[in-house]
Amino acid sequence: MASLVTFLHFPSLSFSPNTLRFSPKRCRFKAQIAVTDAEKAGVAVVWLKHDLRIDDHPALLAASNHNAVVPLYIFDHRIISRFPEKMIEMLVLALQDLRSSLRDKGSNLMIRLGSAESALQELVKEVVQLVTTVYAEEEVEYGFRQMTGNVKGTLEAMPSAPNFVMWRTPFYDVKSLKDIPDSYNDFTKLRLPITLPLPPATLTGGEMELDWGAIPTFDDLKEFVKANPCKVEESWASTKEMLTETILMKEILKPRGRNTINLSFRHVQVQSKGHENSVFVKGHSVGGGTSNVLKALAAYLRYLEGTERDHYWKEVHERMPYAESRNGASFTTLFGPALSLGILSRRRVHFEALKYEKERDSGFLSSFGYSSATVATTVDSVCSMEWYSLVALKSQINDDRRYHIRIWRWKGYLIQYTVVGHEGPATLLVHGFGAFLEHYRDNICSIAEGGNRVWAITILGFGKSEKPNVVYTELVWAEMLRDFIIEVVGEPVHLVGNSIGGYIIAIVARLWPALAKSVVLINSGGNVIPGYSSAPFTKERRTSGASWLGAKFLLFYLRLTLKDIVKNCYPAKTERVDNWLIDEMLRASYDPGVAVVLESVFSFNLSVPLNYLLDGFEDRVLIIQGMRDPISDSKSKVAMLKEHCAGFIIKELDAGHCPHDELPDEVNSIIREWIVSLSSKLPKNDLDLPHYGATGKTMLSLLRRSCPKLRFKLGYIFGYPGPITTGRQYAFSTATGLYGFDHLKTPKGFRRFVDDAIERSGELVAYISGMPSSAEIIRAMDEISNTVCSVIDSAELCRQTHPDREFVEEAIKASIRVNEYLHYLNTNHTLYNAVIKAEQEGNLLTDEAHRVAHYLRLDFERSGIHLSAEKVDRVNRLSIEISQLCRQFNQNIVNDPGTVDIFPASHMPRNLHHLLKPIYRSTSVVSKDSWRPRGTMNEKGFRITTDPHTLSCVLQGAPNDEVRKMAYIKGNSVPHANLGVLDQLIASRHELAQIMGYRSYAEFTVKPNMALSPEVVMSFLLEMSKMVKPSADEEFKKIRDFKREKCGQQYGDLEPWDEAYYTAMMKSSAYDLDSSVVASYFPLPQCIKGLKVLVESLFGATFHSIPLAPGESWHPDVLKMSLHHPEEGDLGYLYLDLYSRKGKYPGCAHFAIKGGRMVSETEYQLPVVALVCNFSASHNSSTARLNHWELETLFHEFGHALHSLLSRTDYQHFSGTRVALDLAEAPSNLFEYYSWDYRVLKTFAKHYSTGESIPEKLVESMQGARKMFAATELQRQIFYAVIDQTFFGEQPTPPRSSIVADLKRQYTSWKHVDGTHWEARFNHLLNYGAGYYSYLYAKCFAATIWQKLCQEDPLSLTTGTALRTKFLQHGGAKEPSHLLSGLVGDGILRNFNGGMVPDISCLCNEMKLEKV
C-alpha cells in the first residue's frame, strides 16, 4: 500500500494508512497516530534524499511513533553522479552532522551504497522486526520520480510489503495541488496561511544491532562516482565542466593583430577557514549541518548590523559583496545548495526570517514591508522557490497536453521540458524571449512523426520554468542547453531556435560543436559582420538601478499591449495569436522573478556575429526566415547571409517573427526534410568533424582535448539512414565470434567452446566437492548451469538460423556433446549431496538461493539420480535419444517443407506471386483444323512451397478450391518422416516417465507446474471446451452458409481448406477490410518502432541500435539492439533476425543466448536474446509489410524477449522465461493485446508511403473482424492441448492417426481429412510435450492482467512499473501463483484438486461466452 502525504502544520499529527497530515491545535505539540498495534510494533525506515535534517522533518516525526526508526541514506549513482564536487563535499559534511544529531535523538544514520531498489529491499529483509512503513519524500524531477516509483514497486512485490508513504512539506496550507491557480497573481489573492516548522523528534532504534555503515570520505565518493557504470561519458563530463566564459576568453575571443578585447573580471579569492570553524564549504556556498547553516542564516539576516557579532557574521560579511551579483541574489548564492540538500527546510528559513524581523520591530510585523533588505530577500526567495515547486508538482498530476511535461533540475532550479518520439535523430527546440516550450505547440508532434525524437525546453526564466534572482545572459542559457543535452538527451542534437533562442543555440554549436548535428535558425537574433575576428567582451555583468527601473516600465508596457505586439509578429496569420497564447504569456508575466528576467534585455551582448559563431558549420546550417518580421530587417539580413555565409541553406517564408507557430505545417516539413537530408552527410566519428576554418582550428583542438573519447557512430535501421544512438558509446574495432563469443569465429570454434565449458564445469565440480558454504555451493552450481547453457543455447540458435551449413553441423555436434555431459552432471552424486546440504541450510541463504537449491534438487531427482545404476544408465540413453529425436523432427521440417505445382499460372492471384516460384512444363499445341499435335510450348505455372507462412497466405488468398485443397493436404502431410520420429518420441518419453515412477510422461511434465496433474489439466480443458462449443458451432454454420451463398450451392460441405479463405472474405465483407491496406500501415521499421514505444512508455527505457562487431552476426539482415534505461544503464541485448530465408527456422521464436545473473556484488551479467521471425518483403518493396497476425506474432515473441531482458534475478537458473511451464506464455499473450489497442497502434502504425497514422475506424474494423471467429480459434487451441495431453498420456493408446481424427470430431466443429498428419510439423509437441495447455493458461492469465491492470492506461509508466517490478523482473525466482496474485489480486487463479487453474471469467467476458 502506498500513499502520498502532505505534512502541513506544526502542532498536531494524525495518521491513517492512506493519509498523513498535520492540523493546528493551539501552539503545543502533541502527536496522535491512528495506527494499529501491529503497525506501532513495527519498524519505520525513513529514506533520506534531499532532506538531510532532523529539524522540521515530518517523516521523522511520524516515524517516531513506531517501535523503532531506521533513517537511511543511499549513495545511489543516479543521485550522486549529478553532483559537482562542491556538492559532494557539502553532502559528506551534512551527513556527518546528521548522524551526530540522530544519535543525540536516540537513533542513528544508516549508510548504503548502490541502487536504492536493492538497498531498501535488503534492509527490509535485514531488519529482524517487521518493517511496516517506508517514508520517502515526493520527487518532482522526472528521473527521481522514476527511481522512487521503481523503489515503491520493488517493495510492494515483497511478500510482506511495507506501506510506502510519500510525503512533502509545502509551507502554504494547500489542501489540493489541483486547486492551485495557474497564475501567481491569483495565487497571492488566496492569502494562504504559511505553516510553521516542526521541532526535532525523539527517536528510537539506534541500539538495534544493524550494520549502520560508514560515511565515505570525499575522496571515496569521487572514486565511487568515477566507477558509475551508467555515468555520462568522461569526455562529456569534462565538456560540461568548462565554463562558457573560460572558452571564450582563452580560445575564441583572444586578441588577433591590433584588435583588443576588454576583459573585465573581478577575481576575488576569499580564503575559507577549516570546515570545523567555517560556515562555507567552497566559494560562496554555506554548508555543514543544520546548526551551522542556521547560524550562517542568522548572520546573513543581521548583515546590515554594523557591529561584528561573531566569526559567522564576519565570514558572511566578507562574502556578501561578491555573492550580490544583483540586488537580492546573494541569498540563493549563499544558501541555495544547502536548501537543495534539505539541510534546512524552506519554511524553517521563512520562520527564522520573520522571527528576526519581529525582534527588530518589538515583536510586530509591519504591513508596510520588511525593515531589513536581507529579510525581504530571504522571504521573497523561499516563497518564490515554493511557488515554482508547486507549479512543477501540479504539472505532473494535471497534464492533459498532447505531450507530457517533465521536470529537470539545473543547478537547483526547476526547468520544464518535454520529449516526443521513440526513434530517430534527436532534435531540440529552443524558444525565443518571452516564450516557452508550448510555443512549439504544433511543431513538436509533427516533427516527431517524421521519425525523429523531439525535445522542447522552457529555458530558465520563462514560461513555467523557475525564475530565480540571478543575472540572465545569453551565456547562462547556452550553458543550460549544454547541460541539458548532456544530462537529459544524452546524444548530439539538431538544434532549432527562434529569435534569441536561435542566437543561444549558435553559441552552443560554436563552443561545443560535438553536441550539435546541425543548426536551424528561425528568425534568429544576432547579426552578420563580414571579416569579424574578435570583439569586446565583458565576463561579469551586473545590473543597475536604471535596468531595474527599465524592466519595471517594460513589464507594465507589455501587459498593456501584449496582444498587439504579438499580433504584429504574425502578419500572415494573425488568427494564430489566440487567447491561449496571450493568456499564457500574461500568466508568466506575474510570476515572481519576471522583472529580473526582463532586466537582461538591457545587458544582452549579441556582438559576436552569427557568421563567426557558425564558422565551420556552413553545410549544416538552415536559415528559416519570415520575411515580414517587424523586429528586424529580414531582406537585409538574408542578403548578408547569402553574401557572407556560403553553404547556409536559406528558406524565405511569407511570415513574421515566429514562422514556426504562424506557418507550422510549412516549417515542420522543411525541418523534417532537412534532418533526413543530413542523415547521410554527418561525420562518422570525431576525426571527420567539419573543418572550422582558420579561426576555428583552436576551437577544434580544444574540443579534442576536452573530449578525447567522444565518438558518434552512424548506422542504418532497415535501410532507413539515421544515427545509432546509445546512452553509452559502442565502438568495435576487433573481430569477435557469433553472439559475441570469441570461440565462435569459425565453425570449428564450437569444439573449443564445448571443451572450455566442460573444463570450467569440471573445476567448479571439484570446488563444490569440497563442500564450501551453502551460498557458495549454489553460486557455483549456477555458474555451471550458466557455462553449459551458453553453449547449448548458442548452438540451438546457430542450428536454427545460420545460413552456413558447416556452422550448423558443428552446432549440432556441440549440442550433442554438451547434452551428454549434462547427463553426467545430472547424475553426479557429489553435486546432488551438496545441493541437499544447501537446501537443508536454507536459513543461511537468501530466499532466491534457497529456491534455487530446492529446484536443483528436484532437477537431479527428475534426472533419476535416486535410481539404480542400471536405470540411471537407461534414463541417460533415453534422454539422449529424446534430444536427438527432437533435433531430427525440427530438421525434417526445414528439409521437407513440401511443394505443390499449380498449372496454369492463372490459378494463382497476382498478389501471391511474390511468394511462389515460377515453373514451366512442355505441352502439346493442337492445330485448329486437326487433332494432330502441331508442336510444343512451355506452359507457365507456380510451385507453392508449403512452409507455414506461405501455406497460410495461399489458404487465405487463393480463390481456386482445388489449389487450396492441394496446398492444405500437402502442408498438413509433410514431412512424412516425422511420423516415425513422433512415434519413437512418444514411446521414449513414456518409458522414461515410467522408469522415473510416473504413470505417464504427461504426469512427469505437469507435476512441477501449477496444474500439478494431468487430471487437473484435462478438467480445465474440458471446462473450456464446453464453454466455447456453442459459439464455435454457430460460427461454423455461418461460414458454411456464407460459402453456400457465394458458390450458389444449397447443400455444399465446408472443408478445412475453406476456413481461412471464407473467414477472411467474411471479415472483409463485414468490415470492408483489405489485408493489403492493413499491411500498408505496418512496414517492418514502423513495427520495430512500436516495440520501442512499448519499452519507453511502460518502462522508461529505450532500444538503441548498436553496431555488430565483425564476426558477431550470422546474416546481413541481423540487427543488434541494447535495451537502455537512463538511470540503470543497459539492461540487456536483443538480436533481431526477422526476414525469411531458405534453411532458416520456419516460424517465429525467442531464443535465449545468455541469462541474467549476479556475477559479483557489483557486476551483473546482462541477458542476451534473439528474436527470430520469418517475414517476407512485399512484392514491390524491399521492406516487409506485416499482416496484422504477423504483427501480433511479433508482439507475442517480444513479450518473451522482455521477460528475459527485464529479468533481474540473482541466478541465471531463474532468469527470464526460466519459469514454471504454465506461466511462461503469460507475458507473450499479454503483449498480444498491445498489438490490437488503437492507443498503442497510433503511436507507430504509419502508412508506408504517406506517413499517415492508421485510422481509428480501420482498427475498429480489425478488432471486429478479430472477434468474428474467436470461438473457432479458441476451440482449435483446446484441441491442440488435448492432443498433446493424449499423445503423452497413459499408454497404450489407439493408433496415433485415429486419435487425431477422433479428437478432432470430439473437440472441434470441423472434419478430419484422411491422409493428413498436421502433427508431423507441430513442433510444440517437442518443446511443450504435455505442456501445450500452458498456452490456454496464459490466455486466461493475460486476459485478467489486461483487464485489471493494463486496459485503462496501457502505455502508462505506472502500468509498466507494476508489470516489471511485480512480475517480469522476478523470472522464476518466486512462486508463479504468488507473482500473479501479487500483480492483480487473488482472483486470477483458483485451487482445483490440489492444482491451480486460471479463472476464466475475464476471458469469457472478453469473448462474450457463457461460463458452464
- Say if residues 293 and 287 touch (Cβ distance below 8 Å): yes
Tabulate helix, strand, coil % of the chain (nearest 5): 50, 15, 35
Q: Are 649 and 567 in contact (CB under 8 A)?
A: no
DSSP state of 16: -
Residue with cell 529482524: 128
**Are the CB atoms for 1145 and 1154 separated by under 8 Å?**
no
Q: How big is the chain, counted in residues?
A: 1412
DSSP-derived letter for residue 853 is: H
What whole-number distance in Å separates Cα of residue 69 and Cα of residue 44? 5
Q: How far apart are CA 1221 and CA 1241, in angstroms?
A: 30
CA distance 428 to 893: 51
Cell of 749: 570454434
- Is residue 656 a contact partner of residue 662, using CB atoms and an 8 Å limit? yes
In 10 A of CB 235, how many CB atoms?
20
> Inter-axis angle of helices 234-241 and 474-484, to 10 degrees?
170
Distance between CA 379 and CA 92 in Å, rounded?
Answer: 28
If DSSP states are collapsed to H, E and C, what string results for 345-367?
CHHHHHHHHHHHHHHHCCCCCCC
Alpha carbons 409 and 485: distance in angstroms, whole number: 13
- Host H or E run for residue 478: helix 474-484
What SS3 state is found at 1197? Answer: helix
Preceding peptide of 1292 cis, ω within 30°: yes
Q: What angle, rounded to 10 degrees, do the helices at 290-301 and 85-104 form?
A: 110
Give ∠ CA 1156-1158-1160 in degrees, rounded to 5. 150
One-letter amino acid for residue 255 of the chain: P
Q: Which residues contact 485 (CB under 8 A, 6 or more apart)?
A: 428, 491, 492, 493, 508, 515
Cα–Cα dist 407/410, whole Å: 10
CB 528 within 8 A of CB 645: yes
| Phi, psi for 350 (deg, rounded to 5) | -60, -45
> Among all chains, which residue has been given the C-alpha cell 511570415?
655
Which residue type is seen at 1271?
A: A
Q: 537502455: which residue's cell?
A: 1124
Q: Is 1197 a catalytic residue?
A: yes
HEC per residue, 303-333: CCCCCCCCHHHHHHHHHHHHHCCCCCCHHHH
Pairwise CA distance, residues 189 & 163, whole Å: 38
Task: Determine contact, residues 1208/1156, Cβ cutoff 8 Å.
Answer: yes
Long-range contacts of 397-402 (CB under 8 A, 24+ apart): 397/177, 397/178, 398/177, 398/178, 401/438, 402/444, 402/445
What nine digits make up the cell of 1037? 454454420
CA 511/CA 528 separation, integer angstroms = 18
Distance CA 1331, CA 1329 (A): 5
Catalytic: which of 466, 1197, 1225, 1232? 1197
Task: Look at residues 1047, 1079, 1380 and name the one whose alpha carbon lies nearest to residue 1247.
Answer: 1079
Q: Which of 1402, 1016, 1371 is nearest to 1224 (CA)?
A: 1371
Q: How far apart are CA 517 and CA 1060, in angstroms?
A: 51
Residue positions annotated with a catalytic role: 1197
